[in-house]
Amino acid sequence: MEHQTQNPKAPLELVVTAGETPKRLDLFLANREPALSRAALQRLIQEGRITINGRAVRPSHKIKPGDRIRMEIPRPEPIDLRPEPIPLEILYEDESLLVLNKPAGLVVHPAPGHWSGTLVNALLYHFGSQGTLSTIGGKERPGLVHRLDKETSGVMVIAKTDQAHRALAAQFKQHSITRVYEALVWGKLKKPEGEIELAIGRDTKERKKFSARTARPKASATAYRVAERLGKLATRVELRPRTGRTHQIRVHLAAIGHPLLGDPTYGGRKVKDLDRLTIPRVMLHARTLGFRHPTTGRALEFVAPIPADMGALSQALREASRIPGVEEVTREA
């Protein structure tokens, strides 16, 4: 491979030489750029920062002689993760894992703009010098098998050993994990239940959003059931994601015309103020998480109650809609 430019401040351009055998782009670059992990390279490819012949491609794209690879590698920011005494609501803990109820507003892992005050900082404090967290996620994401968005509350599982991390990650990949979310969505959802199937990926125009308008669509599905209709203003919905794409629930609900309350990214201004009610955040809660214990194989399931802000908003919406009672919607036999 020939380096076309050595300037570290400019994008790096590479040309695949004639003697190179076809292989995956991410694997090829991981062998050539040891300073970057394969996971980091995959993220850069998915973000469109690494292209071949001027085109965005998948990490699995097979390189061939003559391909011109362009890499835009952002400057790394210094990471100094410090334990911070942030309270944790722990639902369960043993030698392999920890299960907690993440509050809304807590960022899960350090990232630009959030180098402190994250769940990772809280975990480091909780475990102290005697505790351990899995190392598979790297320095920035110790113990993190999955994540929830900043404004999403609910159940998360943390791996304390690499063995537990691999076993849990395999269950997430196989979609054998039980996940149930509760949400408050805009408008009156008429169908009592259904399934949303929509392939999504990073939006081609707005890089911070995900949508069906993407160069790399990934199949995704979310089952839903109406739990309570709050007049014409809103609906309380139970959701079971069949896949685990980024922003999947948010994108899917917006796609059927019922975006999450408090989510202007996908729902616009109308979801922030509803009949003079101010929506404090994205109204999404990961209520239930079930999986097999990575060591014993025992089936475990954990439930986090609906947080106070969602409960209060639900009640306010009932009163605003002048509903005499709770209009429960049951599944038809």
What is the rounded distance in angstroms from the CA atom of residue 196 to the CA atom of residue 187?
17
What is the H or E stretch that residue 236 is in? strand 234-241
Q: What angle do CA 267, 249, 323 make, to 5 degrees?
A: 65
What is the rounded distance in angstroms from the CA atom of residue 284 to the CA atom of residue 286?
7
Q: What angle do CA 226, 212, 244 make, to 5 degrees?
A: 60
Catalytic positions are 149
How far from each other are the two terminal CA atoms of the chain, in whole angstroms? 63
Q: Could you list the beta-strand ranges (E) of 37-151.
A: 50-52, 55-56, 68-71, 89-93, 97-102
Asked whether 244 and 148 are in contact (CB, 8 A), the reply is no
What is the rounded distance in angstroms from the CA atom of residue 81 to the CA atom of residue 142?
11
- For CA atoms 313, 319, 325, 329, the dihedral sign is negative
| DSSP character at residue 10 | S
Q: Phi and psi (nearest 5°) for 161? A: -130, 160
102: Cα separation from own chain's centroid: 14
Residue partners of 286: CB distance under 8 A and separation at least 6: 102, 148, 152, 153, 154, 155, 156, 179, 180, 181, 304
What is the rounded distance in angstroms from the CA atom of residue 306 to the CA atom of residue 203?
31
- Structure tokens given for 1: 């491979």
